[in-house]
Structure 1
């Protein structure tokens, strides 16, 4: 069993992205005023972070397969800390955008390598259980971070939020240095840098691995469509207050935690493959409710209830899908666990960014664009999960390295 202190350290490392994105969201308008730029330009600090985070994961994954997990986490987190301080000192939006990319590039190490560490320490089912538990803890970050950011903003400046991120990163550096052993076994380390980066080809050559990556990434993208679209849909289309919107948003986080808890309890008996398949079916049913609630002219309370219930199912099911697809993928690639984790994370943030941009671009004053992207990605995820588990595809797991 993993030590409690190490578990919470891994959860903190996995939370770099939601904290670095959500903590300063209440300050975007203040940033625009302070740096004399437009709100749209300030919003780009979120987009560039997502891009930098994905690129960082692609670099750090293979590096951790060659050089070890602990060293890469420390290097990436140091970059994150210095970039966070630079963001706090930025005097123009151009500087802030540049430092946000560097910050994201450093933070990608913590997210991708923490999952590889779990793979190093546990077998497939136990890894799925631990990942579900880590996901339960990190799911609270999107709910807590904006409130913490609003509190910090009251202290006087949006710059203090980036100081807080630097302090968070520094705490993770100290914790990693003191608590994390090197988990990459000598026999699993790649022999050279070339071999480490060729791990991407090894992973992607397997159809089963590609299906697992698509299933996890597409579910994550559906959630990004929900995050992007619901502020307008709930507040403007359905006419809800900001407080009620926040309540509905929080309820989805609670559902995500609840599904993660069930996954951690059931995976030992049912196995990761079956739980991931159930999650895909549950999410697709929720997506259908969202699509029906978004029909033209439908803005009554029944449709609101249907959409809220649909998102509880669709978002919550990520607590089943994500840890179990990830555990299956990493279990099959012990020598390329970092590369496999990077591909999975890049698919999540890449498809998530595509969903977010698509919902914004196709905005037409209704809930239809959001519902369409939710359904498209959930159908894609369901196809990947069902293809992975159909009888003709046995055994459903990837072949090992």
Structure 2
């Protein structure tokens, strides 16, 4: 029986997204909680501290490894069985940390644990979008984003607190317990939103679907707009520890405090979006958020010239507020710009964005190494211009542009 999208939020309707975001939170915090304990891991395994950042790299590698398969698979056999299998896999791989005896085995486990994130993007987000009507889905995604944003803020502190009283392996046991609670909740609350498959799974059919999505110019414009919009934030996340602690010689506490304007404004933007989503057409909300985002990146570049990283953080705060306003609606319209199964579309969206982010963060790192903080921030300007133009093309706002079919 085909699921009928929900158009009003009530406590029963919220149980499914709450369980989904609890699982999402457990996957994200699995990266952040172990960061304070990585030196303990390398010391126990008699390995060099150079392996410390490799833990994050391997985890993210796992997070990019299965999306191409899981989306199309969930289109054909259903979202529920694929999603629940992913939760069980993640719980087991976290528990496997109890038997790790070498740094090599530990890093293999990190890849296998990271695979748990694939189920969120390729299956979970698609199910959320299908379970709720457009405006309601945007509100739900905005609320979910706020919970996920807590992981990089509280993860390291929580991990340090756990390791103050227990070995580092207990961090993964705690994460496994959190994910298991989410899995039980999903078992009882997650609806089957995928339409019944008309054909059995085959790699030939999957390839045909992927090609159809990639040839959809409007969809690809939406993916480009989302990617361009988020890259300044990711560049800041990746480079700000070096800029603040190494470049400015400030302590880690100061580094943490200067994350608050950026992430706090992003959370505020999501809250405002959830509040006004039913009052204004989503196109107007995206337009307003996009305008604030564009002004924010220009302001971040300008203030860096006079005030260094502090000015950049203030400008990025305004940018983040605009990102919070625009991102959920833009994601929704992009996902529904293609008629292909939403699991496949979500997988393509995630894969293209992840590749764009990986390249973009490295480019920004190279700019910082070659030219310093000021030019690092100046690179936001062409990014903002490209975002505005791409958004206008996607939304059919360019003068003389032929009217596109509704998403």
TM over 0.5: yes
Q: CA deviation at 1:258?
A: 0.7
1:164 aligns with 2:174: yes
1:329 aligns with 2:334: yes
Q: CA deviation at 1:102?
A: 1.3
**Would you say the 8 A contact 1:16–1:110 is kept in 2?**
no
For 2:390, the equivalent position in structure 1 comes to 384
Distance 1:44 1:117, change over 3 A: same
For 2:185, the equivalent position in structure 1 comes to 175
Q: CA deviation at 1:196?
A: 4.6
1:310 aligns with 2:320: no
Within 5 A, what are the aligned runs for 1:357-372? 357-364=362-369, 366-368=372-374, 370-371=376-377
Stretches of structure 1 lacking an aligned partner (at least 5 in a row): none
**Would you say the 8 A contact 1:217–1:351 is kept in 2?**
yes
Stretches of structure 2 lacking an aligned partner (at least 5 in a row): 1-7
Please point out which of 14, 33, 49 is paired with 1:23.
33
Write the distance in 1 (CA, Å) between the matches of 2:349 and 2:326.
12
Q: CA deviation at 1:16?
A: 4.7
For 2:22, the equivalent position in structure 1 comes to 12
**Would you say the 8 A contact 1:272–1:328 is kept in 2?**
no
For 1:247, the equivalent position in structure 2 comes to 257
Please point out which of 245, 268, 283 is paired with 2:293.
283
Write the distance in 2 (CA, Å) between the matches of 1:198 and 1:325.
25
**Would you say the 8 A contact 2:76–2:200 is kept in 1?**
yes
For 2:3, the equivalent position in structure 1 comes to none
The alignment of Structure 1 onto Structure 2 pairs a total of residues equal to 392
- Structure 2-normalised TM-score? 0.87
Counterpart secondary structure, 1:268 = coil
Q: CA deviation at 1:280?
A: 3.0
Within 5 A, what are the aligned runs for 1:50-129? 50-129=60-139
Write the distance in 2 (CA, Å) between the matches of 1:31 and 1:7.
34
- Structure 1-normalised TM-score? 0.88
For 1:49, the equivalent position in structure 2 comes to 59
For 1:193, the equivalent position in structure 2 comes to 201
Write the distance in 1 (CA, Å) between the matches of 2:160 and 2:406.
45
Q: CA deviation at 1:235?
A: 2.9
Q: CA deviation at 1:66?
A: 1.0
Q: CA deviation at 1:131?
A: 1.1
Counterpart secondary structure, 2:167 = coil
Distance 1:21 1:359, change over 3 A: farther
**Would you say the 8 A contact 1:48–1:100 is kept in 2?**
yes
Q: Deviation per CA, 1:239-292, whole angstroms, max 9, x where unpaired?
A: 544323212213322211110111122233333333333333322322223323
Write the distance in 2 (CA, Å) between the matches of 1:369 and 1:39.
31
Within 5 A, what are the aligned runs for 1:226-265? 226-265=236-275
Q: Deviation per CA, 1:21-67, whole angstroms, max 9, x where unpaired?
A: 21212222222222222333221121122222122222211111111
Q: Deviation per CA, 1:89-115, whole angstroms, max 9, x where unpaired?
A: 322222122111111123311333221
Q: CA deviation at 1:137?
A: 2.2
Write the distance in 1 (CA, Å) between the matches of 2:195 and 2:36.
43
Please point out which of 130, 134, 142 is paired with 1:132.
142
**Would you say the 8 A contact 1:216–1:321 is kept in 2?**
no
